[in-house]
């Protein structure tokens, strides 16, 4: 065969195209491998203690570096805050207390309002080991919530792990509920409607509300005349031994990487326990049976989350399981986002408040 310029050119083009396809295939494979590595747990080593700004001590305690965990005082009448707030001691021996938030437009303590406000008991997050009711992010969240929902918000300062492992915070919240029902503060006496109480928790606070709420439901007569109407779980913090798809996909998540998640459970669960414990995994033990009492009491359940959160799959499964048990459940799941967004992103905070106001007890 005699090669002509045309056949030579054609062969060169074919060779070039084939070479391009080979390079493209290699590039795609490299990109896929890179993507797989970026979503797999710990592509680079993470020191969870350093990430959390904590130092482990002997005797099962932590040093929480104070520069990373500031606190703010309550908002007095001299402030420009949307809500006034004050701190009230619950238990001096346990060093537990509450920060109460009252909308500024009903804060005249000289006059008892004829229109009582619903009571919202809020439990902050922090993986059971960090943060406070006085942390700036939670103080601001509750300040806005009291004003926007026209509610008397009571944020609980509970004991932290590992100094006080689970179930210590569950017990602290139950004690706070007893304190509320006894109306030991004038703001509750003058402005709180004991017939409309909602329990709300964010992240670890959602876990605490889940377990404390179940206990309260099965001891309901102990809390009369307080009437609980709803439980709202914001990105509730649950776990398990087997990884979920969202945990694997977001294994190196900025907000909640797996190694940090694992450490917080190790520090919070009872000594000798693992993530098969009912405090961690809501689908083991007798927890689900206790929900039948919640159903019979007619409590509304709310769950908020997003698919950018490693806990997303567990949140979705919880909703499905509760619905199968006949509970009245309202869910709000966003696309994207991250763990903690409902308290750290004001646009998501407002979205959450609208969800709560629409479906729960903030109406007569």
CA distance 130 to 62: 10
Q: Which SS3 state, helix, strand or coil, does residue 335 take?
A: coil
Q: Which SS3 state, helix, strand or coil, does residue 306 take?
A: strand
Catalytic machinery residues: 203, 309, 339
Residue 42 predicted with pLDDT over 70: no
The pTM of this model reads: 0.87
Q: What's the mean pLDDT in 93-106?
A: 96
More confident residue, 111 or 328: 328
pLDDT value, residue 7: 44
Closest by CA to 308, choosing from 273, 334, 274, is 334
44-75 tens-digit pLDDT: 689 999 999 999 998 899 999 999 999 999 99
pLDDT value, residue 25: 44
Lowest mean pLDDT among 10-19, 41-50, 328-337, 341-350: 10-19
**Pairing between β-strand 96-103 and β-strand 83-91 as defined by DSSP bridges:** antiparallel
Contact 87, 98 (CB under 8 A): yes
Residue 314 predicted with pLDDT over 60: yes
- Cα 199 → chain centroid: 13
CA distance 15 to 23: 12
Lowest mean pLDDT among 35-44, 93-102, 104-113, 329-338: 35-44
- Cα 215 → chain centroid: 19
232-267 tens-digit pLDDT: 999 999 999 999 999 999 999 999 999 999 999 999
364 confidence band (pLDDT: 50, 70, 90)? low
Domain ranges of the chain: 48-359
pLDDT value, residue 21: 41
Contact 333, 306 (CB under 8 A): yes
Q: What's the mean pLDDT in 142-152?
A: 97
Residue 128 predicted with pLDDT over 90: yes
31 confidence band (pLDDT: 50, 70, 90)? very low
DSSP 181: H
ω into residue 225 within 30 of 0, thus cis? yes
Highest mean pLDDT of the ranges 30-39, 277-286, 342-351? 342-351
pLDDT value, residue 287: 75
Angle 247-251-254 from CA coordinates, rounded to 5°: 115
Mean pLDDT value across the chain = 89
Q: What's the mean pLDDT in 311-327?
A: 97
pLDDT value, residue 152: 98
Other C-beta atoms closer than 10 Å to the C-beta of 229 total 18
pLDDT value, residue 6: 43
Residue 8 predicted with pLDDT over 90: no
DSSP string, 84-114: EEEEEEEETTTTEEEEEEEEGGG--TTS--S
360 confidence band (pLDDT: 50, 70, 90)? confident
pLDDT value, residue 286: 80
CA distance 362 to 360: 6
- Show the DSSP H helices in the chain as ranges: 5-39, 48-52, 136-149, 168-181, 186-191, 204-217, 245-249, 258-268, 287-297, 312-324, 341-344, 346-359
pLDDT value, residue 362: 63
Class assignment of domain 48-359?
alpha beta
Structure tokens at 172: 């602290």
Q: Which SS3 state, helix, strand or coil, does residue 51 take?
A: helix
pLDDT value, residue 236: 99
CA distance 196 to 256: 34
């Amino acid at each position: 065969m005699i090669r002509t310029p045309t056949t030579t050119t054609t062969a060169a083009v074919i060779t070039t195209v084939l070479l391009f396809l080979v390079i493209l295939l290699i590039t795609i494979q490299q990109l896929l491998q890179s993507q797989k590595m970026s979503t797999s747990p710990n592509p680079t080593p993470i020191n969870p203690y350093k990430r959390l700004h904590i130092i482990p001590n002997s005797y099962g305690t932590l040093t929480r570096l104070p520069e990373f965990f500031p606190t703010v005082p309550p908002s007095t009448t001299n402030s420009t805050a949307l809500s006034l707030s004050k701190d009230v001691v619950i238990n001096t021996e346990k060093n537990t207390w509450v920060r109460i938030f009252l909308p500024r437009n009903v804060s005249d303590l000289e006059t008892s309002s004829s229109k009582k406000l619903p009571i919202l008991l809020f439990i902050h997050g922090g993986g059971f080991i960090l943060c406070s009711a006085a942390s700036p992010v939670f103080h601001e969240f509750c300040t806005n919530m009291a004003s926007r929902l026209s509610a008397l918000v009571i944020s609980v300062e509970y004991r932290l792990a590992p100094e006080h492992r689970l179930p210590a915070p569950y017990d602290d919240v139950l004690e706070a509920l007893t304190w509320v029902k006894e109306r030991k503060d004038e703001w509750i006496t003058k402005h709180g409607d004991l017939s409309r109480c909602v329990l709300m928790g964010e992240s670890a606070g959602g876990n605490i509300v889940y377990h404390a709420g179940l206990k309260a439901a099965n001891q309901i007569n102990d809390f009369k005349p307080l009437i609980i109407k709803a439980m709202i779980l914001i990105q509730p913090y649950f776990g398990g031994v087997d990884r979920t798809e969202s945990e694997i996909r977001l294994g190196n998540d900025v907000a909640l990487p797996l190694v940090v998640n694992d450490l917080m459970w190790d520090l919070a669960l009872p000594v000798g326990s693992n993530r098969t414990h009912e405090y961690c995994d809501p689908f083991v033990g007798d927890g689900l049976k206790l929900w039948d009492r919640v159903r019979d009491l007619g409590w509304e359940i709310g769950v908020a989350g997003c698919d950018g959160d490693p806990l997303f799959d567990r949140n979705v499964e919880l909703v499905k399981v509760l619905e199968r048990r006949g509970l009245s459940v309202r869910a709000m799941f966003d696309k994207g986002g991250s763990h903690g967004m409902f308290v750290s992103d004001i646009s998501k905070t407002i979205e959450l408040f609208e969800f709560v106001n629409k479906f729960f007890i903030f109406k007569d």
